[in-house]
A = this chain, B = another copy of it.
Amino acid sequence: MDGKTTKEKSPPILQTPRNTVQRLSRRASYDREVVNAILDDAYTAVISATVEGGVRAQPIYFWRIGDELYVHGSRRNALFNALMDGQEACLTVTLLDGLVMARSAFHHSMNYRSVVIYAHARAVTDEAERMEALKQSVERIEAGRWAQIRRPSEAEMRGTMILAFPIAEASAKARHGGPVDDPEDYDLPVWAGVLPCKIAFSDPIEDTNTQPPD
């Protein structure tokens, strides 16, 4: 889902004081490929912003097209409207990969992959671009689906706001692998290792309704 011709080249991620990981910086990356791979494995982000002087945050479905992260929602969404008034967003994506069981309490940890992006939202207003963005929101789940479903009506399009955030001032942070204990703790008689986990899909559940449920 790169959205680019092969001639265009993505600019590098910007590393600024704000998006430079301070704690456990060896786990950080500012490589666009690393950032994109994490984003493409996830479905939900949290958008945070300052609204009327206070912090607000909201979980949301997102998808990536090229160097931008997209979300959509109602035109009446208060957080969206604050972003349109110029408030900057912080977008956070987290994938939990495992629970790390160490021999000491202190070294218990998580395996994870996360991305944090600081960005101002761009309202997607061109109707063709809006339709293409919505197509990608569905096609990322199942390629070819857009051709089979009813496309958005004019009224549905009118009520929908689509925002795009540049993936520019971003950072990835990840932990992989087993526990790292203090040398003197390796002899303790306790199981140590990783409980691996991931978002796993089970068998699809077909909707056999022939009209809207009550």
Q: Which residues of A contact B (CB under 8 A)?
A: 18, 22-23, 43-44, 46, 48-50, 54-59, 61, 73-74, 76-78, 87-92, 94, 96, 99, 101-106, 108, 110, 112, 114, 116, 118, 134-135, 137-138, 141-142, 145-146, 148-153, 156, 160, 177-183, 185-186, 188-207, 209-213
Other-chain residue from B22, B108, B137, B138 in contact with A138 (beta carbon distance below 8 A): B108
- A200 to B196: give the CA distance in the assembly, Å: 8
- A195 CB contacts on chain B under 8 angstroms: 141, 201, 204
- A46 CB contacts on chain B under 8 angstroms: 46, 48, 57, 92, 94
- A76 CB contacts on chain B under 8 angstroms: 22-23
Other-chain residue from B101, B137, B213 in contact with A141 (beta carbon distance below 8 A): B101
The chain B residue sitting closest to A42, CB to CB, is B96
Q: Are A192 and B206 in contact (CB under 8 A)?
A: yes
Identical chains bound together, number: 2
- A211 to B192: give the CA distance in the assembly, Å: 12
Q: Are A48 and B90 in contact (CB under 8 A)?
A: yes
Tell whether A153 pairs with B193 under 8 Å between CB atoms, given A59-B92, A89-B55: no
Tell whether A199 pairs with B199 under 8 Å between CB atoms, given A43-B99, A152-B106: yes
